[in-house]
Amino acid sequence: MRMVFGLVLLVGIALAGGAVYLAKDRIAQYQNANAQAQAALAKIVPTQTVYVAKGPLKYGQRLTPEDVRAVDWPENAIPEGTFSDANVLFPENTDELRVVLRAIEKDEAIMSLKVTEPGQDTGLTSRLARGMRAFTIKVDVSSGVSGFLRPGDRVDVYWTGRVNLGRDTVNSGEVTKLIEAAVQLIAVDQSAGGNLNEATIARTVTVAVNPQQVAGLAQAQSTGKLSLSLVGAEDDTVASAIEVDQRSLLGIAEQEAAPEVVKEEVCTIRTRRGAEVVELPIPCTN
């Protein structure tokens, strides 16, 4: 009888120990799951509704409600100029639609700088900042960077022409000089959109410059040849004054003009000796 009691006691102790072990394991799992849930809650970022493009949108395309969709966007990463209200993007008090000014990719946020106001003209006037003017430059395959120019690019403008310095024949000749740095292209030929799919040999490009620059470019274009040099998209350097002529290109040093040798003045008189006329030197009196 005592043996049976002892056996039952041992079994009870073993069961109790197993129950305690299982309970501790369950509690540990619960605590781990709770910690993971707390960490996940800490990572949740407040969001705000932002309208994005359902698919690619091209320059000149009218923007309709079917072209956009609303998504949740992190509040601390919303680009400036986005639309969070459908009534602002598509006003109810007008039937006029916005027009795409720059190519927009799928799932890209619709921003005010890439679309016009409802019913606004999409011509060059809408792309010119206050105080800026549009000026057209004639180009060809060599001066126009082989057709790789796109609206929105920045270019340096070089002038090549003959400098006439009057009697200074030593320094007169053709010169190439940087006259404008990093001016923005707003149109290539008659296209103001930046979504050209292949290189096109343009005949003209239009830049956005101030009135003083317009006068300088007009003078340069009428007196010489203009060439464009494409500036990198991420290039923020400022080009310094650049001027090259034939002598500096070939490394030829300018020769100093030899000083003029003053000839000694000689005075003579003529006298006749028979049938012969002879000149005799005499001291000059003046």
Q: 72 vs 194, which has greater pLDDT?
A: 72
Can you point out the beta strands (E) in the chain?
47-53, 62-63, 68-74, 98-99, 133-138, 154-163, 173-188, 204-209, 225-231, 243-245, 267-273, 276-282
> What are the tens digits of pLDDT across the range 189-235?
877 665 555 667 788 999 999 999 999 999 999 999 999 999 988 88
Lowest mean pLDDT among 21-25, 135-139, 169-173: 169-173
Task: Tell whether the model's pLDDT for residue 41 goes beyond 60.
Answer: no
Where residue 286 falls among pLDDT bands split at 50, 70, 90? low
Closest C-alpha among 29, 229, 212 to residue 132: 212
CA distances from 163 to 56, 159, 168, 191 (A): 51, 11, 10, 35
Where residue 102 falls among pLDDT bands split at 50, 70, 90? confident
Q: Is 31 helix (H, G, I), strand (E, B) or coil?
A: helix
Q: Which pLDDT score, from 0 to 100, does residue 99 have?
A: 87
- 82 DSSP assignment: B
Per the CB < 8 A criterion, the answer to whether 146 and 199 are in contact is yes
Euclidean distance between CA atoms 195 and 57, whole angstroms: 10
Per the CB < 8 A criterion, the answer to whether 126 and 195 are in contact is no
Euclidean distance between CA atoms 242 and 3, whole angstroms: 109
> What are the tens digits of pLDDT across the range 154-202?
999 999 998 876 555 555 678 999 999 999 898 888 776 655 556 677 8
Question: What integer best gives the mean pLDDT of the chain?
Answer: 80
The token pair that represents 260 in the structure block: 């003029």
Closest C-alpha among 242, 221, 226, 244 to residue 174: 244
Task: Tell whether the model's pLDDT for residue 60 goes beyond 60.
Answer: yes
Q: Which pLDDT score, from 0 to 100, does residue 249 have?
A: 78
Q: Which pLDDT score, from 0 to 100, does residue 59 have?
A: 76
